[in-house]
Amino acid sequence: MADFDLDLFVIGGGSGGVRAARIAATHGARVAIAEEYRMGGTCVIRGCVPKKLLVYASRFAHEFEDAAGFGWTVEGAKFDWPTLIANKDKEIARLEAAYRRNVGGAGAEIIDSRVVIEGPNTVRILKTGATLNAKYILVATGGHPSLLDIPGKELGITSNEAFHLKELPRRIVIQGGGFIAVEFACLFAGLGSKVTLVHRGDEILRGFDDDLRAHVRGEMVARGIDVRLNDTIQKIEDHKTHRCAFLSDGAAIEADQVMLAVGRSPNTKNIGLEAAGVKLAPSGAVAVDETSRSNVPSIYAIGDVSGRIALTPVAIREGHAVADTLFGNKPWNVDHKNVPSAVFSEPEIGTVGLSEVAAKKTGKHIDIYRTRFKPMKATLSGRDTAILMKLVVEQSTEKVLGVHIVGEGAAEMAQLAAIAVKMGATKQDFDNTVALHPTAAEELVTLRNKVAD
Ligand code: NDP
């Protein structure tokens, strides 16, 4: 390794890159990590973390309403967007500093600059013009919001800008039916905005279980969100005091903001991947094998830029595995099966494993167990809402292949259900587990009746 300036050069200071740099340094490797913006990446700076803080803020409105049924009078409750944003920014700055401390403390050199790859082992630092060579290069550059090529697209915002708006939009139109569109639609609605969600498909949240998709949409509509399916924004106009979104169904909707949440694209442009001969997949992501290695043996890619599962904990594992494999004498690969996920909608989704449709596509015979019930809290609050729980079970082995939940605490439940699914638990194992009463989660171990085909 002595012929190289470094053992590992990590490009991108997001959660995955930071984990890889820190673990590699802990194994004794000479490591540098470059970040052109803020250490922490999408998740910490403009993704999961600030989003969840905004979600917490948005849920107070319902809590105040629900409190009345329990005897509370909440008078004079007021919401102030600038206070929320300022407090959120303070927390993000604290986390960013912690990221820097952790990775620097482990012995990795932090380079605050954009860099470009100049060859299989060479990286140029744009701020100084210096070049460094490294035995391995790890591309962990993440992704960015995709845009729509429509007139007035520059008037729209993406999730990047949504975290820094000067004021809460009174009215917002959001295009998209995925994670980001649904989460922002719900959080803006909770904070009091009038929300229109426009989605090109005939149901939101493609890829999730169909029962769960319909259920969440119903709950969103019940909370006042105008969900328009089979529709797209064709044009955005600036009308001085507001924007106007023109839809394919002929409607023109006035709003303070128009948000585009139509997917994210990997950051593979202008970072020299071509110069090094790195092959990209049709999606534009770096094509990698199960060890996260590209076609160039010295170049690896992890996280969103590698186009596998765009979730922070997955990127972190991929980075950890690369560092252990290359420098820790502990080779292992990430298992991308049964990764739990959540959508922090209102109510939220927690899910792990196969949807009913995906399970049936495997050709196996499948049993479905499903329940919809009114949460206990709603008995006194009077809120018209229901929890949905569904188990997808393989008939021959009784293995639980999928757990799908919509309701308060669904994400927390799915994290624990994921352990059982990952271990190959059967329906009988669920049934053998004593219920914890009174909870919503107890329904998962007391589901008795199969849904008839
Ligand atoms: P998604 O891929 O989840 O959703 C994109 C949405 O945009 C889909 O509804 C898609 O429709 C629609 N769309 C795509 N292209 C067009 C187009 N040209 N015109 C109109 N609509 C279009 O992406 P997101 O941006 O919401 O999120 C990106 C990723 O980030 C997620 O996949 C997820 O991995 C991650 N994420 C995770 C979160 C979490 O864990 N809670 C939260 C936020 C993001 P269609 O379905 O028809 O393709």
Contact between 312 and 293 under an 8 Å Cβ cutoff? The reply is: no
Residue nearest to atom 40 of ligand 1 (CA): 342
Pocket of ligand 1 (CB under 6 A): 148, 175-181, 183, 199-201, 206, 232, 261-264, 310-311, 341-344
121 and 191 inside one domain:
no
CA of 432 to the centre of ligand 1 (A): 38
Name the domain count of the chain. Answer: 3
**For ligand 1, atom 16, which residue shows the shortest CA distance?**
262
Nearest CA to ligand 1 atom 24: 263
Q: Among 262, 291, 313, where does a domain finish?
A: 262
Structure tokens at 140: 């962990």
Q: What residues make up the domain containing 203? A: 153-262
312-327 and 15-26 are packed helices; what angle lies between their axes, rounded to 10 degrees? 20
The CATH code of the domain that includes 246 is 3.50.50.60
How many angstroms separate the CA atoms of 110 and 296, rounded? 25
Residues 10 and 125 in one domain: yes
Query: Is 215 among the catalytic positions?
Result: no
Q: Are 423 and 382 in contact (CB under 8 A)?
A: no
278 and 138 within one domain: yes
| Residues in the chain, pLDDT under 70 | 1-2
Q: How many CB atoms lie within 10 A of CB 331?
A: 11
The Å distance, Cα 179 to ligand 1 centre, comes to: 6
What's the CA-to-centroid distance between 41 and ligand 1, angstroms?
18
Within this chain, do residues 275 and 301 fall inside the same structural domain, yes or no? yes
E strands of 193-318, at which residues?
Answer: 194-198, 226-228, 233-238, 243-247, 252-255, 257-260, 264-266, 299-301
The predicted structure's pLDDT at residue 413: 98
Q: Using CA atoms, how far apart are residues 372 and 391, in angstroms rounded to an integer?
A: 12
Predicted pLDDT at 370:
98
At residue 453, the pLDDT reads 73
Both 95 and 15 in one domain: the answer is: yes
What is the best residue among 42, 51, 200 to mutate for testing ligand 1's pocket, by most ligand atoms within 8 Å of CB? Answer: 200
Among candidate residues 104, 4, 10, 34, the one with its CA nearest the CA of residue 292:
10
Closest ligand 1 atom number to CA of residue 181: 26
Give yes or no: residues 315 and 211 share one domain: no
DSSP E strand stretches across 298-408: 299-301, 341-343, 349-353, 366-373, 387-394, 400-406
pLDDT at 417: 98
Query: Quick one: pLDDT at residue 264?
Result: 98
Task: Specify the 3-state DSSP secondary structure of 297.
Answer: coil
Tokens of 387: 């929890």
Burial class (CB in 10 A: 0-12, 13-18, 19+), 62: middle
Quick one: 103 and 38 in the same domain? yes
Cα gap 446→430, rounded to integer Å = 8
Domain match, 170 and 190 both: yes
Write down the pLDDT at residue 301: 98
Among the listed residues 215, 242, 336, 437, the single catalytic one is 437
Shared domain for 279 and 305, answered yes or no, is yes
Three-state SS at 403: strand
Note whether 164 and 45 are same-domain residues: no
User: 126 alpha carbon to ligand 1 midpoint, in Å?
Assistant: 32
189 and 45, same structural domain?
A: no
Ligand 1 geometric centre to CA of 186 (Å)? 15
- Are 32 and 73 members of one domain? yes
The owner of tokens 């009078």 is 73
How far apart are alpha carbons 359 and 353 in whole angstroms? 9
